[in-house]
Amino acid sequence: MKQPTQALGLAFAITATLAAATNADARTLATIAGKALVPLNHDPTFDDLSVSRLLNGVLSRWGIPFKLEVKLPPLVPGGKTSKAIQAHKRHRNHRRLLGGLIGGIASPVTNLLNNVIADPLFGSNVVKARSDDSDSEWYGTLSFGSPLQDIKLNFDTGSSDLFLFAPTCTSCSLSNHTAFVPSKSKTYRNSTSSWSIGYGDGSGASGYTSFDTTSITSSNVRDGALQLNNFLFALATSVSSPSWATSETSGLVGLAQDRLARMSNGRTIFSALVSERKLERDVLGIRLVKKERGEAHRVGVTVDGGGGAYTFGYVEERWIVGGEAGLTWTDVTSSNYWGLPMDDVQMGGKSVLDSKTPRRAILDTGTSLIITSTALAASIHTHIPDAYQSQSGGIWIIPCNQPSAPGGPVAQKPSSSSLPNLVNNSATSSVFFVVAGRRFGVPLQDLAWKPLDSDGFWCVSGVQGGVEGFTILGAMFIKNHYVALRYNDKQGESLSVGIGDRTDVEVMV
């Protein structure tokens, strides 16, 4: 077994290698027409948020009842829970040392409230929500205006508006954020239309819409950028969400379907690039790199932040097991989201999907957890030892020390011919979501999302119930796979989603 310091060093080295490779790709693509890569960074500002604040954001904004008090289960002398806690306490000092060095995991929700048009399959009254407590664990940089102004933004496949902070915004914490300044741009044009978005708790953001140059590369790249002229976006003059004060981001990039846009005639940057024939291929690749856990996975904490990339016009074949041919494609069946049929949910080689839960799901980078029906969440947790549901808040809670594959994943710098790092043959240590006849797993150690108590034994589960219309496959699912979004025609009438195993993530079979 690796010593803690060795595990920490390995994780930092892996993260540095992955980041260097991504940045090198971005520089190389800067001069290639029709392709662009937006590197992603982990936002550390959310690591110190309390679990009650995170849960309030993640769940209540989806309309799931939540109370701050969570009661731990009683200890039954000689029972499994009692024995597990005693074993946990024998290693407490070791884990507290790691915890003091590296902090805890946090992965908040970011979806904006959108009252959407009718969607026959996914529900006619679907409401998307955004947490007012936190934004996203990953962010990237886009550039606006002439000359270009770089803005850090949260990328969200579950909403469709792009908005930036205006320089006149008094609630945007501009002392530690970046506003877009229209007066500095020679190509800026005010549309004179008002804009507003409501949040799930009744708060919101408002401002006005604008037109200007929007670039998929940063200001230090002068040639070869993917650029949209006179692109419509919003400037927020008021944001009544306190989480923006500590966030790294100064706005949001919506990447769902255009029908979700709150702006009149609003389009996503992906849709606009497709319709204007800017891309070499009409595809958007998504790679969210999760935090490296090393020895610390046993207490629900992580040793370093992840990264990743959004790639416009191509997919990163070297990060996909089997290259692009390794992606499993399925048609989008939602009118609003990147929604698709979900064949089954399995644990231990058997189906846990009940007959009443709709067999459909959406891929949403703006939601950090997997949120599904009440019945399916209960069925999944029935197969996780010592899992229980808080009577006061309805939150599913599991032991932080979850099983992992023997030896853990051995991350390495991938190449086009890379094989998976580790094949986990223990079907009981993962939850599998079956899409287009193929199983895609999420390890239980990832589901131990956020430590609930100071002792670090109980963790909030990464699967929660309360959304009955479809299952939300958020970042908890996406960071374990490679996801590609594709326009099959320029009008967006036919869309597809591709999902594949990653070369830098252990593969579950």
Q: What CATH code is carried by the domain that includes residue 445?
A: 2.40.70.10
What is the CA angle 410-442-478, rounded to 5?
90
- Residue span of the structural domain in which 209 resides: 126-278
Last residue of a domain, which of 278, 310, 330? 278
Residue 252: per-residue pLDDT: 87
Total Cβ atoms within 10 A of residue 445:
21
Among 8-17, 272-281, 370-379, 396-405, name the one with the lowest average pLDDT: 8-17
Judge whether 451 lies within some domain.
Answer: yes
Task: Please report, as a single letter, which amino acid is at residue 234.
Answer: A
Among the listed residues 105, 109, 125, the one whose alpha carbon sits nearest the alpha carbon of residue 117: 125
Give the pairing type, strands 350-351 and 458-461: unpaired
Calpha distance 64→167 (Å, rounded): 35
Judge whether 368 lies within some domain.
Answer: yes
- Buried-exposed string 347-380: b where 16+ CB fall within 10 A, e elsewhere: beeeebbeeebbebbbbbbbbbbbbbbbbbbbbb
Residue 226: per-residue pLDDT: 86
Per DSSP, the three-state class of 376 is helix
Among the listed residues 467, 473, 475, 444, the one whose alpha carbon sits nearest the alpha carbon of residue 372: 467
Q: Is the dihedral of CA 424, 427, 430, 435 positive or negative?
A: positive
Judge whether 75 lies within some domain.
Answer: no
Whether residue 374 sits in one domain with residue 250: no
Judge whether 392 lies within some domain.
Answer: yes
Judge whether 366 lies within some domain.
Answer: yes
Q: Tell me which of 282, 364, 501, 504 is the catalytic residue.
A: 364
Q: Which residue has the tokens 């594949």?
A: 500
Whether residue 327 sits in one domain with residue 274: no
Helices (H) and strands (E) in the chain, counts: 8, 31
Residue 304 annotated among the catalytic residues of the structure: no
Mean pLDDT of the chain: 73
Contact between residue 68 and residue 52 where contact means Cβ atoms under 8 Å apart = yes
Q: Which residue has the higher pLDDT, 122 or 207?
A: 207
Judge whether 167 lies within some domain.
Answer: yes
Whether residue 325 sits in one domain with residue 438: yes
- Predicted confidence (pLDDT) per residue in 204-228, tens digit: 678 999 999 999 875 554 455 689 9
Whether residue 494 sits in one domain with residue 345: yes
As given in the structure block, the two tokens for residue 447 are 């589901």
Judge whether 137 lies within some domain.
Answer: yes
Residue 466: per-residue pLDDT: 83
Whether residue 347 sits in one domain with residue 248: no
Task: Please report, as a single letter, which amino acid is at residue 206.
Answer: S
Judge whether 155 lies within some domain.
Answer: yes
Residue 364 annotated among the catalytic residues of the structure: yes
- Predicted confidence (pLDDT) per residue in 282-334, tens digit: 999 999 887 654 433 333 333 334 678 899 999 999 999 999 999 999 999 99
- Predicted confidence (pLDDT) per residue in 459-470, tens digit: 889 999 988 889
Full-model pTM: 0.78
Residue 355: per-residue pLDDT: 94
Whether residue 471 sits in one domain with residue 341: yes
Whether residue 234 sits in one domain with residue 340: no
Number of folded domains that form the chain? 2
Q: Tell me which of 119, 156, 282, 446 is the catalytic residue.
A: 156
- Predicted confidence (pLDDT) per residue in 372-386, tens digit: 999 999 999 999 999
Question: What is the crossing angle of helices 92-102 and 4-29, to 10°?
Answer: 30
Calpha distance 355→436 (Å, rounded): 19
By CB atoms closer than 10 A (0-12, 13-18, 19+), residue 463 is buried
Q: How many residues does the chain have?
A: 509
Whether residue 266 sits in one domain with residue 356: no
Residue 128: per-residue pLDDT: 33
Last residue of a domain, which of 260, 278, 296? 278
